[in-house]
């Protein structure tokens, strides 16, 4: 019998593993939160983190500090954890840009939850493409995607990020019609109150 690991177990173990791989406690805390999110949304967080942390000690990854519209890794791919931490820190400035492109990122699935959390910070949905894999991040409440494979994605050539302006999914006319329907309840409630008030005092309490 296989028992599901709880989200708090996933969080704690991931955080400790990231710390033992050489990340600070602050960043390790972020990793823990992220793994909880990925597993909650049904994406392969633990699988990717496990492989990344094993590689992290042996391989070299490029660290990025300032994120701009175009970001190209030189010799080595970008570290998804450092990239994600800086993305969250800078998202209030980044959402003024139209489109952000990042070339060569290691284990891009590990970057995803940072973007999901950033979506909540700015109060806008974010559309992210890892090559042909599409992800729509909804204020850290859900992730819609055309990618559902439970696999390790060791690297990608490009990530594209765009910020979606908040617009209603309905027009003004549809809203007015619905509001008109909702007004019928006000009439019913008023009638019910009148009847209730008229009947007050008729109850025999003796």
Tell me which of 57 and 159 has the higher pLDDT.
159
Residue 204's pLDDT band (cuts 50, 70, 90): low
Residue 50's pLDDT band (cuts 50, 70, 90): very high
Give 106-143 pLDDT, tens digit per residue: 999 999 999 999 999 999 999 999 999 999 999 999 88
pLDDT at 98: 76
Q: Which residues of 28-57 are buried (b: 16+ CB within 10 A; e: fewer)?
A: bbbbbebbbbbbebebbbbbbbeebbeebe
- Whether pLDDT at 189 is above 80: no
pLDDT at 96: 83
pLDDT at 82: 96
């Amino acid at each position: 019998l296989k028992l599901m690991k709880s989200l708090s177990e996933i969080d704690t173990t991931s955080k400790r593993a990231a710390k033992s791989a050489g990340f600070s406690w602050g960043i390790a805390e972020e990793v823990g939160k992220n793994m909880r999110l990925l597993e909650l949304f049904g994406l392969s967080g633990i699988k990717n983190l496990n492989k990344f942390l094993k590689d992290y000690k042996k391989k070299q990854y490029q660290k990025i500090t300032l994120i701009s519209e175009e970001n190209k890794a030189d010799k080595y791919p970008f570290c998804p954890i450092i990239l994600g931490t800086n993305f969250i820190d800078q998202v209030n400035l980044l959402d003024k840009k139209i489109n952000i492109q990042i070339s060569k990122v290691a284990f891009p699935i590990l970057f995803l939850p940072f973007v999901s959390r950033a979506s909540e910070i700015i109060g806008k949905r974010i559309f992210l493409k890892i090559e042909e894999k599409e992800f729509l991040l909804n204020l850290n409440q859900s992730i819609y995607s055309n990618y559902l494979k439970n696999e390790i994605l060791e690297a990608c050539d490009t990530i594209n990020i765009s910020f979606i302006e908040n617009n209603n999914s309905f027009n003004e006319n549809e809203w007015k019609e619905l509001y008109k329907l909702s007004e019928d309840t006000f009439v019913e409630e008023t009638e019910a109150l009148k009847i209730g008030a008229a009947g007050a005092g008729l109850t025999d309490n003796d």
